[in-house]
Amino acid sequence: MTPVRLLLGLLCAVLSGCTSVFLYPDRVQHLADRALGTPAEDVWIEARDGNRLHALHLPAQGALKATLLHLHGNAENLSSHVHLVSWLPARGYAVLALDSRGYGRSQGAASVAAMHEDAEAALAWLVARGQSRTGPLIVLGQSIGGSVAIRMVAQSPLREHVTAVVADSAFSGYRRIAREKLAQPWLTWPLQWPLSLLVSDRFAAVDVVAGISPIPLLLIHGERDIIVDASHSQRLYAAASEPKTLWRIAQGGHIDALRSDSVQARLVEYLDRIVQANND
C-alpha cells in the first residue's frame, strides 16, 4: 500500500467513524486452477441483516474428530484462504470456511462489525447442526480473523459450544495496528498518534481476551511477520487467562505458519489433545 493511499484511507475511516480501512475484500475467484485436494460443499448462511453468506464445508476424511470454523484474513476471500486449511480434513478435522459480507460470493457490504456478526452466524449454523454431526467445535482465525475469533467467542452466548480458539497472526487492537502502519511511511509518520487515536478500538481483542477462559486459547505468530508484529500476540497472551498457549514461529511470516508440515503436525497434536480432553 502506498503512503498516500494509506493516509487517505485512514482519513476516510476517521471521517466516517468506521474501521473499513482494515478491510480489502474482493469478489474474484482466486486460484481457480489450483485443486483443493479435498471434497467441498457450498453452504449458505443468513446474516443478521438478511444477506446471504457463502461458506465452504470441507467434510472430514475418515473418522470425524471435530469441526473448525475458519475466519480468514482481510484481503481477497475464501477462494484463496481456504487453501490454508484444506489439509485439515485429511487429519480428521472438518472445516467450515466463511466469507463475511462483501467477500467472495457473500452478499452485503464489508465492515468490521459485520465480520463479528457473521462469525457468530456461522457458529450458530454449526451449533444448529448438532454435535453428532460436527463433533466438538473449534474456532480458527487468521490475521483480522484471529482478532474476530477472540472477541466473538469471548462475548458469544454460544461460547459453551466452543472447545478451543486458535488465533494465527492476530492483532491486539485496531488503534495500535493503525499507529504502527502510520509510523512506517515518512508522509504519515508525524500523524501516527493523532490519527490513530481517532480510529475506533471498540472491537479490540485485547480488551476481552481474558473472557475466553476457561476455553483453551492457542496463539500462533511468526517472528518474521512484517504485516502484524509478533508483539501483538505477546500482548494478547499477557492479557489472556489460563488455559493459554503461545507459539512464536522463528521463521514464520504473516499467516504462513500453517504452510509448514511441522507446524501442521504440531497443531493436529494440540487439537487431538484438546478433543480427547473434551471427550473424557
Residue 32 pLDDT class (50, 70, 90 cuts) = confident
Which are the contacts of 267, defined by CB distance < 8 A and separation ≥ 6? 166, 218, 220, 258
Question: Residue 259: its pLDDT value, please?
Answer: 94
Mean pLDDT of the region 168-175? 87
Does pLDDT of 64 surpass 90?
Answer: yes
Question: Residue 279: its pLDDT value, please?
Answer: 87
The model's pLDDT over 112-132, given as tens digits with 9 standing for 90+, comes to 999 999 999 999 999 999 999
Does pLDDT of 216 surpass 90?
Answer: yes
Question: Residue 16: its pLDDT value, please?
Answer: 42
Mean pLDDT of the region 222-232? 93
Phi/psi for 273 (5° steps) reads: -65, -45
What domains can be seen in the chain, in order of their start residue? Answer: 25-172+216-279 (3.40.50.1820)
What is the DSSP code (8-state) at residue 49?
T
Question: Residue 231: its pLDDT value, please?
Answer: 93
Strands 93-98 and 66-71: parallel
3-class SS of residue 17: coil
Residue 174 pLDDT class (50, 70, 90 cuts) = confident
Question: Residue 74: its pLDDT value, please?
Answer: 87
Residue 202: all three cell numbers together: 471498540
- The number of helices, as runs of H, and strands, as runs of E, in the chain is 9, 10
Using CB atoms within 10 Å of the CB of residue 246, give its burial: 0 to 12 exposed, 13 to 18 middle, 19+ buried: middle
In angstroms, the CA 100 to CA 55 distance is 9
Q: Other C-beta atoms within 10 Å of 17: how many?
A: 9
**One-character DSSP codes across 127-158:** HHH-HHHH-SEEEEEETHHHHHHHHHHHH-TT
Question: Residue 175: its pLDDT value, please?
Answer: 67
Calculate the average pLDDT of the chain: 88
Q: Could you give the percent of the chain with pLDDT greater than 90?
A: 74
Phi/psi for 90 (5° steps) reads: -65, -20
Residue 24 pLDDT class (50, 70, 90 cuts) = confident
The model's pLDDT over 43-57, given as tens digits with 9 standing for 90+, comes to 999 999 999 999 999
Question: Residue 122: its pLDDT value, please?
Answer: 98
Q: Could you give the percent of the chain with pLDDT greater than 70?
A: 82
Does pLDDT of 176 surpass 80?
Answer: no
Lowest-confidence region among 19-28, 82-91, 200-209, 268-277: 19-28
Does pLDDT of 205 surpass 80?
Answer: yes
Residue 180 pLDDT class (50, 70, 90 cuts) = low
Neighbouring-strand partners of residue 67: 94, 137
Verify cis geometry, omega within 30 degrees of 0, for the bond prior to 216: no
Residue 3 pLDDT class (50, 70, 90 cuts) = very low
